[in-house]
Structure 1
Amino acid sequence: MTPFAELETLIYDVSRVFLVPVLLLIAGALAYALAMLGAFAVEAWQRRRGTHPRALLAHARRAAAGDGPPGVDSDDLELWIMRRLEWLRIVSRTAPMLGLIATMIPMGPALLALGGNDAAAVGRNMVAAFSAVILALLAASICFFVLAVRRRWLLQDLRELERMRAGGKA
């Protein structure tokens, strides 16, 4: 075996080690996305009814009462919003990459099986590859949707708070 072939084998073996962790991360991303979709649906329903406890306003009130960080201004509240939305953004951006990784790892064995005329092995590997990317894209899509709408809601709350402060109500 040539040194190049040994390097190829080593790289292949190392990449196969990452398949299970990547699949677990995709499953976790999908579970997180579904949980966030449920929380989003509840929040949308509450906002429509006017009964949603606005977390941004509560955070600003706690800070003004001395229970939170002193001197919370709009920049601090924007950082609070970014922290609140951080995991949605991370999952919406990394899940497609994880899906690509989970697609590419089984492609090697599928191509080897294709060369050996083993159609069943090709099918097994392709099903695993495409199922993983579908779930990863689904998780990313859900998280991106929730992120976009929730960011708008929180910025609307921030704008409302700024108007209240300008009017001397807060």
Structure 2
Amino acid sequence: MSLQLMIESALYSASQLFMLPVLLAVLLMFFYAFYALGAFLWQSRQRRRGQAPAFDLLQSWRAAPTMTAVELETLAFKRLEAPRIVTRVTPMLGLVATMIPMGPALKSLASGELAQVSDNLTVAFSAVILSLLAASLTYWVVNVRRRWYAEELVLIGQAQRSQGLAASEPLAAAAHELATEAA
């Protein structure tokens, strides 16, 4: 067996080892996306009713009025972190979950085993569909929440200004940065 064939065989075997972990990760992120959507819808309902727990940054600032603009912005980014990661990572995992079964599907096609081709392609396309749905849901959640947090930073800045505190300019800058940050 030539060195090239050994390397190709090792690469193929290694890639097949990742199929189960990638599918599990896609499934977990798909379920997380619906959890995030549910939490988002609940928070949206609370915000429409003016309930205090729905206003994360305002609640945190009221509990600790000495929080700086950087601390509030960091808190906002921290709260957006998990859905942002899901938004960015899930499509990549969907692509990986699509490509891994393509090798066995092509081998099956070459040997005329069309049922195996069908099975492999079903897994591949199901994984990418779930991945794209999860990424779409979390993308929507992240963008609306980012706007909410920017609005809250503006409200905090206005409250500080009305109280005669000098921290409103950094908060305005933080609100702008949060609102314009790429998803």
With normalisation by structure 2, the TM-score equals: 0.86
Q: Which amino acid aligns with 1:11?
A: L
- Equivalences for residues 18-167 of structure 1 within 5 A: 18-53=18-53, 54-64=55-65, 71-167=66-162
Larger RCO, structure (CA 8 Å, separation 6 or more): 1
Cα deviation 1:111-141 (Å, max 9, x = unaligned)? 0011111110000000000000100111111
Amino acid across the alignment from 1:25 = A
- 2:10 is matched with 10
| Count of residues paired in the alignment | 164
CA RMSD of aligned residues (A): 1.3
Structure 1 position 169, deviation (Å): 8.0
Mapped partners of 1:19, 1:43: distance in 2: 36
What CA deviation, in whole Å up to 9, does each residue of 1:66-98 have, x standing for no partner?
A: xxxxx4111211111001100111110000000
| TM-score normalised by L of structure 1 | 0.93
Paired letter, 2:69: S
**Superposed structure 1 runs of 4+ greater than 3 Å apart:** none
Q: Distance in 2 between matches of 1:73 and 1:82?
A: 14
Identity %: 44
